[in-house]
Amino acid sequence: MNYLGLDIGGTALKIAILDEAGNIIASSNYPVNFDNYNTPILNTAIEKSEIFLLENKIDKLEGIAISATGQIDVKKGMVVGTGGNIKNYQGSKFKEEFEKKYNVRTTVINDANSAVLGEVFLGNAKNYKNVVMVTIGTGVGGGIVTNSKVLNGTLGIGGEVGHFSINNKGIKCSCGNRGCYERYASMTALIKRVKEELNIENINGKEIFEQININESMKNIVDEWIEDVAHGIISLVHIFNPEIVIIGGAVSEQKELFVNKVEALVKENGMENFVKNLEIEAAKLKNDAGLVGALYYHIKGEK
C-alpha cells in the first residue's frame, strides 16, 4: 500500500511515498520560499505532489499524511496560525484541497506532534505509551503522548511546550507572555547568553560545545543553560508522568555533554516516583520524523 507523505516546513517541503510500516520508498525535497512565499505553500505542495507522483509512476494512493509547521486545526486539516512570518500560509486548507484532488482520506498534523509520534512508531519511544518530547532548536518545540494518543487539544495545537512560563517577571516572549521556557532553554537562548556574557560576536551551538572543555566560562554558561532545560523537563514530567522523555534537536547528539547531564539533573530534582524509572533519550529519527509520525497519525489517530 502506498501512502503519500508531506513534511511541510518554512523553507522546504519533503514529499515521499511510504508503505504502511513507515518505510520511505521514495522522497524528494522542494523549496517553498523561492519567491518569498508569493506562491502559497499550499499551491507548491499540490503542484510538486503531482510531479512527484508522476515521476515515481504512482497512480494509486491509500491515503495522504501531512505534517506541517504552524498551528494546525487537525479536524479541518488546515493552518489556523503560524509560528513565524510565512506569507500566504495561514488559512491553507490542506485536507480539503488534497482530498478534492486525490479523492483519498487526508490527515494533517502539526510537525512537533508528528515528531513525537514518529518516535513512538519507529524511534526511541517505540512501544511506550506515555511520552514527552522536547525539541531544542531555534525555539523549543515538543509533543505529548498519553496512553498512546498524541495530545492535540481542542484544535490540534496542544503540547506547545516552549511556551509555559518559568518566570512571570522574565523575558518578554514573542507569544505575548513573559518568561516562556523557550526564552531560556532554546539554542537561541544559549547562543545569546554566550555572546552577551563572553563578548563574542559570532558563534553557533556546535562551536559552543566544542569549547566547553577548554573554556571554563563557556562551560559555566552551558551548565546554567542545561539547568534551565532540565527544570522545564521536570515540570513536564510532573504533569504528564511519562515513561520516557525524548530530546530532539541537533544538540541531542551531545550525549555526554548534554543528554546525560539533563538526565542527572532531572533524576536529582524531580519527585522520586516520577523519575526513578524514567528514561531520557535523544530522538532517533532526525529528518524523517515528520513523515513517519504523520503516517502513524494517519493510520492510528482519530478517524
Q: Which residues bind Zn ion (CB under 5 A)?
A: 163, 173, 175, 177, 180
Min. distance of Cβ 282 from Zn ion in angstroms? 25
Provide, rounded to whole angstroms, the least separation between the CB of residue 186 and Zn ion. 11
Helix/strand/coil (H, E, C) string of the chain? CCEEEEEECCCEEEEEEECCCCCEEEEEEEECCCCCCCCCHHHHHHHHHHHHHHHCCCCCCCEEEEEECCEEECCCCEEEECCCCCCCCCCCEHHHHHHHHHCCCEEEEEHHHHHHHHHHHHCCCCCCCCEEEEEECCCEEEEEEECCEECCCCCCCCCCHHHCECCCCCCECCCCCECEHHHHHCHHHHHHHHHHHHCCCCCCHHHHHHHCCCCHHHHHHHHHHHHHHHHHHHHHHHHHCCCEEEEECHHHHCHHHHHHHHHHHHHHHCCHHHHCCCEEEECCCHHHHHHHHHHHHHHHCCC
C-alpha triplet 112, 35, 42: angle, nearest 5°: 45
Nearest distance from C-beta of residue 160 to Zn ion, angstroms: 9
Measured from the CB atom, is 137 or 301 closer to Zn ion? 137
Q: What's the min distance (Å) between Cβ of 274 and Zn ion?
A: 25
Of residues 149 and 178, the one with the C-beta less far from Zn ion? 178
CB 180, min distance to Zn ion, A: 3
Give the up-direction half-sphere exposure of residue 253: CA atoms within 13 A in the CB hemisphere.
9
Comparison of 171 and 264: residue with beta carbon closer to Zn ion: 171
Q: Is 188 exposed, middle or buried (0-12, 13-18, 19+ CB in 10 A)?
A: middle
| Residue (74 or 180) nearer to Zn ion, CB | 180
**Between residues 87 and 163, which has the closer beta carbon with respect to Zn ion?**
163
Angle among Cα 152, 132, 94 to the nearest 5 degrees reads 35
User: Given the complex with Zn ion, which of 236 and 259 has the nearer CB atom?
Assistant: 236
Minimum CB distance to Zn ion, residue 81 (Å): 13
CB nearer to Zn ion: pick between 165 and 211 = 165
Q: Which is nearer to Zn ion, 180 or 237 (CB)?
A: 180
Q: Closest approach of Cβ 201 to Zn ion, in Å?
A: 27
Asked whether 153 and 160 are in contact (CB, 8 A), the reply is no
Q: How far is the CB of 230 from Zn ion (least distance, A)?
A: 19
